[in-house]
Amino acid sequence: HMTPPYDRIQHYDNVIEDTPLFELTGKEKIGVNSYHHQAVKELAESLEPMAVSEDGLIEAVYGKNRKFLWAVQWHPERLWSQPDGLPHRALFAALVDAAKSAAV
């Protein structure tokens, strides 16, 4: 279990190729914080995994038939300003871009 401060990397997630997260970041691994107490046991049919923790937990998903439905199990809002925070800043940029295109 992670203890404060929460704006640091606790472990690394493996990003699955050919997913929106991989396309966004170009990274095979992303450092994440981790202070959740729940995890995905079974993934709904409408969702696909995008990242898996080193111990096999699904930590990022997307809606395969949705324009923009992404969820992550970590807290990018606490990591975006870190030196290795580029993937987390990219998540926010993707959300803003999706919101802008939905508003048009």
Find the mean pLDDT for residues 29-48.
91
Q: Tell me whether the omega of the peptide bond preceding residue 5 falls within 30 degrees of 0, making it cis.
A: yes
pLDDT digits (tens, 9 = 90+) for 50-84: 999 999 999 999 999 998 999 999 999 999 998 88
Selected residue with higher pLDDT from 64 and 2: 64
Q: How many CB atoms lie within 10 A of CB 51?
A: 26
Q: Considering only residues 66 and 104, tell me which one the structure prediction assigns the higher pLDDT.
A: 66
pTM beyond 0.85:
yes
Tokens 């295109």 found at? 101
**CB 33 within 8 Å of CB 73:** no
